[in-house]
């Protein structure tokens, strides 16, 4: 696997609507593997192909929902789940939205407060071209919305009510 360079603003690829993927060949599988390695190395919880300079509709997301810890109980280690989704689209949203602080590997040094749907349903294709659906809520829903924005040429400051440079201790608390 190869670590890919993460492009940053003002690179124009981040502002273009990415093209759908129709070829599920060896090059696509290599891109997927490289994106997963790049996301993990960054480290991040999601990455869209335009963020590595490829204007295609591909996202990778890796996140583990932390269970509620009962006082006095030992926290259980939760393994993150990896999602690879090609040509993703949000097909259902909750009416409820929630504000949250987001950062982005393509916009280092800035964070913003962004309102997102609290629950979504996403459909797309897996890495082998088979249909898949994901029901996501809370932070997982936020990550999917953020990455799908990337393939539509939207970056988080476009949706943010407020953007700022975080203090070092704030960055430690970021997702």
The residues that are catalytic are 147
Tell me the C-alpha distance between 70 and 61, whole Å: 28
Query: From the DSSP assignment, how many helices (H) and strands (E) are in the chain?
Result: 4, 8
Q: How many CB atoms lie within 10 A of CB 133?
A: 11
4/118 Cα distance (integer angstroms): 31
- Evaluated on CA atoms 13, 14, 19, 20, the torsion sign reads positive
CB 47 within 8 A of CB 147: yes
Structure tokens at 34: 């490289």
Strand order in the sheet with 58-63: 46-48, 58-63, 81-93, 119-125, 131-137
């Amino acid at each position: 696997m190869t670590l890919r360079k993460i492009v940053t603003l003002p690179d124009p690829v981040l502002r273009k609507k990415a093209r759908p993927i129709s070829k599920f060949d060896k090059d696509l599988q290599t891109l997927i593997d490289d994106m997963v390695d790049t996301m993990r190395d960054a480290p991040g919880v999601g990455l869209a192909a335009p963020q590595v300079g490829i204007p295609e509709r591909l996202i990778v997301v890796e996140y583990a929902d932390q269970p509620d810890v009962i006082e006095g109980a030992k926290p259980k280690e939760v393994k993150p789940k990896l999602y690879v989704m090609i040509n993703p689209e949000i097909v259902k949203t909750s009416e409820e939205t929630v504000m949250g602080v987001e950062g982005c590997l393509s916009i280092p040094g800035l964070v913003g407060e962004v309102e997102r749907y609290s629950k979504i349903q996403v459909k797309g294709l897996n890495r082998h071209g088979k249909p898949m659906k994901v029901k996501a809520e809370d932070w997982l829903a936020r990550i999917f919305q953020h990455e799908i924005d990337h393939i539509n040429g939207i970056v988080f400051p476009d949706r943010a009510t407020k953007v700022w440079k975080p203090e070092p201790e704030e960055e430690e608390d970021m997702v």
